């Protein structure tokens, strides 16, 4: 395990919130920076240790920390449906129409490459990168341009018009370094899209406390609010250009209670997920 401190406040003092056990029974402490409010796990597994906490069936069995047969056609269709909703909220289709010439994109933490495939079908030159060999192999069998490895060590011959981090930034040991590299890899007129779980503000997550559906330790290492997301983006040279929330986690999926809560979460910015669009500020 390694100790860590707030990546936004140069080691600013943090306040312990609560401890919670992983699936394996190891207990992890959630902390909140007293200065900016960023929440993070410390101590935490190192990069070499973290793989032990992603079980072999993470992508094949549904629970609060995994997927329900992620490689199935049914799940692929559902993931794509959510992509389309998110892209509409972030103004992607207007951005796409404004582009001249080649349209190229990079999806960081691409898993099985569903977003890469979606963009390919729209005429983009798209590629992805992920650390999961299982996912990358699944993507390659479908002819997708996906690399297995650490994004921080990867280089690309051309800058991208679009870079995405869909539900990935909360898993990263060094999200600030990923954003700094994304700034370098993004074209000056390009866009960065991020989705991640959201803390702070008016938020359905407050109903659940330590049992919130995204407090998965230690798979999720960081928990951002709108304020801390804006701050980490600005530190990396971005300005926040779009912001939306969605999702409630309230009630059972498909029930009237869930539909009503999700409607409120989106319309009143009370969602426990957030979507962010960013552009280069310098």
237-272 pLDDT, tens digit per residue, is 999 999 999 999 999 999 999 999 999 999 999 999
User: Quick one: which of 213, 282, 196 has its CA closest to 252?
Assistant: 213
Total H helices, total E strands in the chain: 7, 11
* Residue 13, pLDDT above cutoff 90: no
User: Residue 1: inside a domain, yes or no?
Assistant: no
User: What pLDDT is attached to residue 196?
Assistant: 98
Mean pLDDT of 57-77: 62
Nearest to 275 by CA among 104, 34, 136, 265: 265
Question: Is residue 236 domain-resident?
Answer: yes
Q: What is the pLDDT of residues 78-109, one digit of tens each?
A: 888 999 999 999 999 999 999 998 999 999 99
pLDDT of res. 54:
75
Structure tokens, 58: 């993470």
Distance, in Å, from the CA atom of 268 to the CA atom of 266, rounded to the nearest integer, reads 6
Question: Which helix (H) or strand (E) segment is 133 a member of?
Answer: helix 133-140
Using the predicted structure, report yes or no on whether residue 61 has a pLDDT greater than 60: no
Could you identify the residue written with the tokens 């994109």?
105
Residue 221: the pLDDT is 98
CA 19 to chain centre: 23
How many other CB atoms sit within 10 Å of the CB of residue 280? 17
Please classify residue 164 by burial: count the beta carbons closer than 10 Å to its beta carbon, then call 0-12 exposed, 13-18 middle and 19+ buried. Answer: buried
Residue 65 has a CB neighbour count (10 Å cut-off) of 18
Here the CATH number for the domain that contains residue 209 is 3.40.50.150
Question: Is residue 24 a part of any domain in this protein?
Answer: yes
3-class secondary structure, 94: helix
Q: 78: left (phi > 0), else alpha (psi -120 to 50), else beta?
A: alpha
Three-state DSSP class for residue 250? coil
For residue 77, the model assigns a pLDDT of 83
Split into its structural domains, the chain has a count of 1
Cβ-based burial of 60 (10 A; exposed 0-12, middle 13-18, buried ≥19): middle
DSSP structural state of residue 61 = S
Domain around 261: 14-280
Instruction: Tell me, yes or no, whether 229 lies in a domain.
Output: yes
Cβ contact 109:166 at 8 Å: yes
DSSP H or E stretch at residue 17: strand 14-21
Per-residue tokens: 66: 């995994």
């Amino acid at each position: 395990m390694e100790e860590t401190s707030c990546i936004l406040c140069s080691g600013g003092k943090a306040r312990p919130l609560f401890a919670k056990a992983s699936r394996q029974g190891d207990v992890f402490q959630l902390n909140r920076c007293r200065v900016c409010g960023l929440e993070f796990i410390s101590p935490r597994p190192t990069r070499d240790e973290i793989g032990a906490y992603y079980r072999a069936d993470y992508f094949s069995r549904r629970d609060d920390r995994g997927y329900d047969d992620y490689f199935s056609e049914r799940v692929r269709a559902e993931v794509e449906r959510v992509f389309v909703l998110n892209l509409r909220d972030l103004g992607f289709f207007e951005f796409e129409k404004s582009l001249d010439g080649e349209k190229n994109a990079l999806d960081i933490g691409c898993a099985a490459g569903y977003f890469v495939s979606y963009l390919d079908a729209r005429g983009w030159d798209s590629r992805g990168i992920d650390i999961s060999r299982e996912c990358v192999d699944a993507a390659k069998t479908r002819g997708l341009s996906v690399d297995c490895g650490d994004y921080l060590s990867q280089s690309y011959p051309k800058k991208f018009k679009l870079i995405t981090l869909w539900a990935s930034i909360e898993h990263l040991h060094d999200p600030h370094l990923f954003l700094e590299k994304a700034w370098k890899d993004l074209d000056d007129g390009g866009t960065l899209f991020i989705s991640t779980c959201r803390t702070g503000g008016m938020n359905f997550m407050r109903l659940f406390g330590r049992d919130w559906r995204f407090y998965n330790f230690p798979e999720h290492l960081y928990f951002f609010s709108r304020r801390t997301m804006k701050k980490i983006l600005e530190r990396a040279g971005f300005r926040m250009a779009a912001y939306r929330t969605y999702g409630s986690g309230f009630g059972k999926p498909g029930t009237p209670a869930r539909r009503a809560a999700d409607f409120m979460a989106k319309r009143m910015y009370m969602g426990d997920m957030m979507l962010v669009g960013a552009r280069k500020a310098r």
